[in-house]
A and B are shown apart, each in its own frame.
Chain A
């Protein structure tokens, strides 16, 4: 691969690195403090999770779901209300997920089977669910204090005997906490990734088809391993592995698998690429739309649980404009505004890029208004670049 093609393929990765270095310098290194690195993903948990669902919607033809911020709020509000009225954490979670399923069924049905334009259908939903959320909250703020609930989503994994917590040194001074478990898990994952990559290559070689170049593969592998271990090292220095990280990773991996390797995942790309041809190939586009919007709403409801536990309280404005963050991550991450192309790893880069910019600006102390200006500029630049460099003009 020549350099030009390489740069084109990894534009967003390069942009992420540049932005990361830029903010590290700008904040005098505060961005890479263990606490900030750990918080980077947790702060943006909702973006990472909802971008997965949003990708499905966008794949079907550049459609978006505007209602997810409100769905998130409704789900969080219901959970908070249930906990406040003395129900168990499990009931609260089930009720929240159930509301996601119901909303998903309604929107999926309207968009897929009644052919309501997604933009309008979800715009209606956006007002509707926020209204319901405020009704549930009686326009008040409800604190989330249930221990079990918080443990499930917002806690950190600590293992006695491995981790060093609250110990004092011989001279009586406090030793900094070291969560070695995080580093050990990080190294284990790096090893698993390495082995899996090598085995996959061997399998490719055996079938004699499309073997990737050894240098590129191993170079990428080394970088990924270093990143995993470096990230784990940072976690070690700050509270250990967050439970929320496991939720995020599980969802992202599941959706990456669905879109890249399953038959149904392929249908999202096909419908977005050419709906008529897809239908005549024996695939029911209505079902594809239904599943896209269904999964989106369920993910939004789940994000509601994550955010309720992370913030520790729920109010009627929670999740305002979160849908825009999810949509922006997808487009920054290379999803086509006309549908039919985009990958989960791509949009994760987009989401993290957005997160780094957000957090970098917050740490630097840039005021809110300027944060919007920068975010908007980045989004526009990313999409313009994508369209110009790939000639994705929709109609050519």
Chain B
């Protein structure tokens, strides 16, 4: 008989018209790392919201047994009092406050008169930060540290609440491979100290690496729970459970048909940070993209890939930009984004919610946004044409929505990404630059996005893909460039490249640099 810290039994949660959860069962053993996987919309987040009291007792049916007794949480405070802490995918930190202030937000360290005890606040924060290996001072503002470190602050915050059961929703979705591994190793270390964690993630290699048990959800139901005690679980099996079918090939096949003609060429491209203008973010970067080619850009976070892509796209990032940009062999000086679009470039942003879509506007409006001229005459929009175009791209992309009049904010992440792609396909670019195109979306939607990329290159256009997921770069690209700290450090033919080769290219340049400075 196992010792379960948490048993969720027959949890059902209905929204008007949809059953988000249907008799879901989840059993978590004390002191394990339990992975919860499933496609977008499978009900993972809803289940965790039930557990944390975000969806209060009474609005769902079924029982939550925690430490053997049935609980009825009516808000987050209730669940936190019992040691259940949830860290959401979108971090709940306030950028303008210090690490320490954030850590004790709503839980302030104060004296008997209610005045905040700053000395205690900062010293206790420092202690928690040491536990998670965060080397910063506790009076640094959140906005001044990177996403990886912010994630650590969230965990330290959870620890300060005396957490017994830690829930992490997509903790590594915005981290690079190195930071992700560090985070997972830390969870493993905490496991040794007796902490139980539930981790929701799309990254199956992480699941295989750290989870003891894996529960698969699909369409609001539990499919199965499998043991991963040996850490040798078959990724294909998890995928099969998630999508309900065997994805024999995670990457759609395509005929590699790279043309001779260079469609985009960049020489000695140098970009400085827009605010800290003495900081060089891209240093003399040169690369080429051929017609019909998918070119990947690999590197750690902060390698300068997004900055490179954005500065090439009509100088939408950076200052003191120098270098040469050639499109179809002719040098161009793109003044702004509009100019870039006119010259056949498209840049699909990394963060679809912040930089990509107007969430409250309809799918139709978002689709036509980058090239409204296509559905208008003399500055007057032809609504019929616009809707027709949106309808056409909805079909092409297989976007799941009842109507193109639907606000984009109501769609799931994968479908939002498809609308974002629709928008840029509608602009009819020759070179499509994709920045982390599959972040935070499920396996099925990923596959469809890969198919769209293949269609693009089949038409003789070119795709540039910036991605932090090595398997995806290896599976999709013809050539892969590797960047580190603003410089181009390696170039591989995809046939020869391996994850090890790419990582070592990054790490060896790191070492070189350290030796030089030493």
**Which residues of A are in contact with B by a Cβ distance under 8 Å?**
203-204, 207, 209-210, 261-264, 266, 269-270, 273-274, 276-284, 340-341
Contact = CB atoms under 8 A, between A and B. Distances in A.
Given A266-B365, A270-B361, A273-B361, A282 B381 contact: no
- A-B residue pairs, 9 tightest by C-beta: A273-B358, A282-B338, A281-B370, A282-B337, A282-B341, A274-B358, A263-B372, A281-B369, A276-B355
Nearest to A209: B387
B360 A273 contact: yes
B290 interface: no
Given A207-B388, A209-B384, A282 B358 contact: no
B359 interface: yes
Interface of B: 313-314, 316, 336-338, 340-342, 347, 349, 354-361, 365, 369-373, 376, 379-381, 383-384, 387-388, 391, 405, 423
Contacts of B372: 263, 266
Interface centre among A203, A209, A263, A282 (most CB of B within 10 A): A282
A191 B354 CA distance: 47
Contacts of B316: 279-280
A331 B338 CA distance: 33
Contacts of A203: 384
13 contacts: A266-B365, A269-B365, A270-B365, A273-B360, A273-B361, A274-B359, A277-B349, A280-B313, A280-B349, A280-B355, A282-B337, A282-B341, A341-B360
A394 to B, nearest CB: 10
A270 B358 contact: yes
A264 B379 contact: yes
A269 B361 CA distance: 8
Nearest to B342: A282
Contacts of A262: 376, 379-381
Contacts of B313: 280
Given A209-B387, A284-B338, A261 B380 contact: yes
A37 to B, nearest CB: 34
A264 to B, nearest CB: 6
Nearest to B310: A280
A387 to B, nearest CB: 14
Contacts of A209: 384, 387-388, 391
Contacts of B387: 209-210
A276 B347 CA distance: 13
Contacts of A264: 379
B370 A273 contact: no
B55 to A, nearest CB: 15
Nearest to A270: B358
A284 B340 CA distance: 13
A282 B336 contact: yes
Contacts of B423: 281
Contacts of B383: 261
Contact of B337 (A270, A281, A340): A281
B360 A282 contact: no
Given A281-B337, A284-B336, A263 B373 contact: yes
A263 B370 CA distance: 11
A340 B360 CA distance: 8
A274 B357 contact: yes
Contacts of B376: 262-263
A274 B349 CA distance: 13
Interface centre among A210, A277, A279 (most CB of B within 10 A): A277
Contacts of B379: 262-264
Contacts of A276: 354-355
A209 B364 CA distance: 13
Nearest to A339: B360
Contact of A283 (B338, B340, B347, B381): B338
